[in-house]
Structure 1
Amino acid sequence: MTEVGEISGAKPCEEIWAKLVPSDSRYLDVEISSDEIVVCSEILFSSIHKCKWCKITRNSDHSSATIQNKRSNAIVVDGSVIQAEDTTVIRCGSEIVSGIDKEGYLSYRFNVLPGPETCQKQLKISMDAEHAKCCICLNIWHDVVTVAPCFHNFCNGCFSEWLKRSQEKRSSVLCPQCRAVVQFVGRNHFLLNVAEEMLKADSSLKRSNDEVAILDSYATILSNLVLNSGKHLRGKRAHSQVDQEADNASNPCPQCGTEYGGFRCNQTTIHLQCQACGGMMPLQTNYSVPQHCLGCDKAFCGAYWHAQGIAQSDSHRMCSRETFKPISEHTISRMPTSAHENNRHEQVITEKCIAHLGRTLQDVIAEWLAKLDNREIDRTRMPLNHGETITSATPTCNYCYEKLISFLLYWFRVSIPKYHLPPEASNRENCWYGYACRTQHHNDEHARKRNHVCRPTRGTNM
């Protein structure tokens, strides 16, 4: 016996907004055109026997729907059993089985089709490749950076070399394209995506791997840089007190005007803006104290000013050293909210496992940091930039530290034998979609009943 779905009461002229795609390609898709429809099942050996088995109601966000079980027995949605008349939310990719088991029933994948509004959002812009080329190397942008105020774009490596040579020769940095004085340069993630799409569309525009490696070795722009133009230093009239206050407001860096640690900013000094406090510090490329978090490439000033022996004051903003320090110097006493994909049920289970072992969260993290240093952990899913180079000695910001802790807690959990888990967790079946499951975020019952600290065995994230 096999059941096939069909729509009850659908009007052929209405626009189709979703489909139920059967797992068996021999059967047709169930097209959904009404905002509320009832799906019937047809038993193949009986062409006259049909019964309602679910009702699908389109939600107001137009990207999800609510499914109600209209059968007398249960159905299964994303691995969760839905009893008669119960409802749950389904999204694009949700799997629905029209019975309690798969024998005799088809499984369906719920697909939301792009509507007019979605199509408009997904509209791709046509762009001439000549308009996406760096005027220095004459190739498609690679790791593109944008300069201001002229807003011209260049490869990171190309402009980094131009910046280096400009600092050696003149007091201000000029745009390589229009010769305007550059006051700011930063990475442009939007244009980076545009360049990548162009290279996918036309592989002949790609550089060789050796060329890319050389270009990356030149790149020094990791975060937003503020460049001094030096113009106010060459003025023909003396500075008034108002002028001096304006200069201090535009360059709130302690080393602009005062020497600390043998260094004083000049008119060509490039400045970084701290992501934590917004204060400024000079970019020191040959300095041993790190100024960028290796997890997110953002600039933080706490470690730099601490090394200079400069304390925070009312006139200069600077963040605490606690905001940016080596991973091994961070401490943690609570479970990060991001752990186990924000699944609080899994977080509680991990907390119970740690307590059962008679250990603290800090003990467990120290153990798994040692495993990280010894390269005993698969880093494929590490949610940090430069994941292959990160060790316990790597300085990170607090945000990236918590992301790393969540990553290590996943490996701690999967290392625990099932029989050592708390009773409420040891008998659970794995969710088909594992840590990538979306249902765990909006269906508390599903999040509790299935184990989500496991690898996906279905779907696109396998």
Structure 2
Amino acid sequence: MEGLGEKKPWGKLSRLLGAETEAASELFLCKKEWTIGRKKGCDLSFPGNKLVSGEHCKIIVDEKSGVVSLEDTSTNGTVINQQKVVKKQTYPLKNGDIIYVVYKKNEPENNVAYLYKSLNSEQDNMQELADNISAVTAMKNQPEQHPSTGLDDGPSIQTASVASLTSDAEQDGQPPPKKKLKYEVDCPSSHAPPPSSNVKGTSEDAKPSSVKPDKMEETLTCIICQELLHDCVSLQPCMHTFCAACYSGWMERSSLCPTCRCPVERICKNHILNNLVEAYLLQHPEKCRSEEDRRSMDARNKITQDMLQPKVRRSFSDEEGSSEDLLELSDVDSESSDISQPYTVCRQCPGYGRHNVQPPPYPPPLETDASQSTGDAPSTSATFPAVTQEYVCSSQGSHVICTCCFQPMPDRRSEREQTPHVPPQQCTVCLQSFCHMYWGCTRLGCFGCLAPFCELNLGEKCLDSVLNNNNYESDILKNYLASRGLTWKDLVHESLAAIQRGVFMLPDYRINGSTVLCYFCGLRNFRDLTYQYRQNIPPAELPVTVTSRPNCYWGRNCRTQVKAHHAMKFNHICEQTRFKN
């Protein structure tokens, strides 16, 4: 194929806005490789569409043969004529093919589709003639599949007419009218399938109006694989559902929901939807996945049991033989997940050694020097206070569950009000229970889930995006501290001293350096102190590029400050001055 340089286009993409509208824009394909995606460097870019991948697909032309193909490189998939392209594989493009960059059955208004038109007429004619000859040959080889119409010579006459028309078309050097021949052959057969695979350029709305979409199938379809759900899981808090295998591949690249981009806090099994899928497949067995496909889905499922760990607190009443929420039900179907399970006992219960206590969800740490660094090992300490080591639970004593490691401990919160020597067991702000100060938390990676505010370990990355998720302002603060040899711990101590002097103020007046807080409440108040610390830095000690920026109208409440170009242009360490009401 000659003349495939960048000056002479070999194809054209026309955007489809609807079933009955003309193309809104046309793109001529001149290069050997044409890229489509969300990145700005793509030839066809969708920077504001989150349903399009960064590098969604490529359209490639072979300079020698002129064959045009599409290679899918996306996450959600590319659809050609309502047929999904296998990832990392190529699909030959033909004149009139409709390329769906975004294809959603339940939300057709969000679909993004382009019509491909080839500008190489010779290659199209050869390809069209080859398709017609292969279709006619298949018809000749299977004459007995057509049902009888009452005339003995009916099918043979039609086959002969098709063959004669084909030969005439070959002699004239023009391809036969494929659509007309296809309908002539298929019309006498009342049970023959409709001509869909060889008809090109048809849109999604070209289906017969008598065929109604299956609403149940649309509801039970995974948006990632566009097939019926298999081993369904739901994400919280958005409650969107996906196949476990499909989401396993997604969560390796992102911690956000594939549908709404909401941060995922928990994964759980969706037994109701799984039961609905099983009932639906009993009525429609032809839509079942193949055995090989199911084995492949199970092998790609990387969601383990610890990811399904529930977050329900359990409490026991004072009455013998009764309890509230005896055991926390897991997300796995099990006959043992009911009230018939034994009572959970803690380390200080009299019968702790005689009961079959389930092991903690996290393995015990190895006693090595590397594992004793902060944040790499559990916060369990062997030097407990004597009031903790000597305590033994009564036979009817109540227990609380640690929010961090999900392990029970005796409830001694009321006793602490009369005996201050009892270690604290709950956060002062959120009142959640934690065992770190009582006998040490057993969860791997625990920084210290409960401690006085001045001793709370927030981790070395606590300054990342600490100022209202504004990375630029946070980097200014980190550079300021680094230039003076200060750390985040020094910032905490200076800020707590400023609270004592009345310079800084927190929303909760009860909080000071000795207030017992959990990690999350401590981090929330640390952000408030960090903002006030940054606000009180003298302008003379900051670079000129920082102090020369004008204040943003929205101040610290600005929702655009998370974008780098806006954060660099305006100062957001200020209060809102406009539109306060």
Pairwise TM-score range, normalised by the shorter structure: 0.3 to 0.5
Larger Rg: 2
- TM-score of the two chains, using structure 1 as the length reference: 0.42
Which has the larger strand fraction?
1
